[in-house]
Amino acid sequence: MLSQMDLALLYLVSPDYLKVMHIPLLRGRFFSEQDNSDGSHVAVIDDSFARKYFPHENPVGQIINLPEYPERIQIIGVVRHVMQWSLESPGPVTIALYVPTVQLPDSWVVEHNVGFLVRTQTPQYASAAAIQNAIEKTNSEEIPFNFESMDQTISNSLASRRFTMILLGVFAALALLLGSIGIYGVMSYVAGQRTHEIGVRMALGAQRRDVLCLVLGEAARMTLIGVGVGLAAAAGITRLMASQLFGVSAHDPLTFAAVAVLLIIVALAACYIPARRAMKVDPMVALRYE
């Protein structure tokens, strides 16, 4: 039995709330229609609550007491923790529990605004007018307001981070463009310095595709060295960006692989023009070079 706990976030919900929100069930069960005012008082806790107060035991079946609540409450399930405040931080309250509204005293419920969640069968959410009409048919005294889709809610919560990521994306694109220009200039200089060598090779029977492979091979070697050094440096400093990431690890292998492939493709594309120019070198002109 748990009678003393820190501040917890209490959700007063209907039986289908957890299913509508698609909050994953980890242990036990969701609420059902049998969890009404005539049944035993029950609650569902999140995994943060379970780790803090039941670290070495199964919380399902345990009893907890809430302040000013007349009945003892039995835990019937454990669900995944929800980031209620923001994606950046867990907020001032890091544990949560869910209690069926029908089992609470009326004095608890009337003091709070009631929110309705509607999940539709189609990707396009229902209009505010349709929801308002449905609520008024159920209870004409209810005044629904502040309609917002889940996409809008998530978008608003990510507005500042999205702006930061857009700026980083713009700077990254500019860096990639400048890097491509730099690679093109270096490879043009390298190909120019090897004009005499290329002329000798072609005079000795080298084909144009051999020259192309020679220049691109040299570019690929330098590119792979640069990408390898860059990946090693990135792996060491990505921990500084960990707090800005959500849903992906700071050392996500897919992201590293995609960036490496992109840089290699850009580098080889930037080297293709100098390589094509080297293919067209006249052996006689090249032999007279310098």
Average pLDDT over residues 266-271: 76
What is the per-residue pLDDT for 129? 74
Across 23-32, 192-201, 216-225, least confident range: 192-201
pLDDT reported for residue 79: 94
Per-residue pLDDT band for 266 (boundaries 50, 70, 90) equals confident
Lowest mean pLDDT, pick from 15-24, 41-50, 166-175, 231-240: 231-240
Q: Give the integer Cα–Cα distance in Å for 223 and 261.
A: 11
At 133, the pLDDT band (50, 70, 90 cuts) reads: confident
d(CA 287, CA 280): 14
Res. 23: pLDDT tops 80 = yes
Q: Are 69 and 109 in contact (CB under 8 A)?
A: no
Sign of CA dihedral 182, 186, 192, 195: negative
* Residues above pLDDT 90, as percent of the chain: 7
Report whether pLDDT(239) > 80. Answer: no
The pLDDT of residue 271 is above 80: no
* DSSP calls for 135-171: HHHH-TT--------HHHHHHHHTHHHHHHHHHHHHH
Which pLDDT value is given to residue 90?
Answer: 64
pLDDT at 77: 92
State residue 268's pLDDT score: 77
> pLDDT band at residue 243, thresholds of 50, 70 and 90?
low
Q: What's the pLDDT tens digit per position in 82-125?
A: 887 766 666 667 788 898 888 876 666 555 566 777 777 765 55
Tokens 């919560």 appear where?
Answer: 157
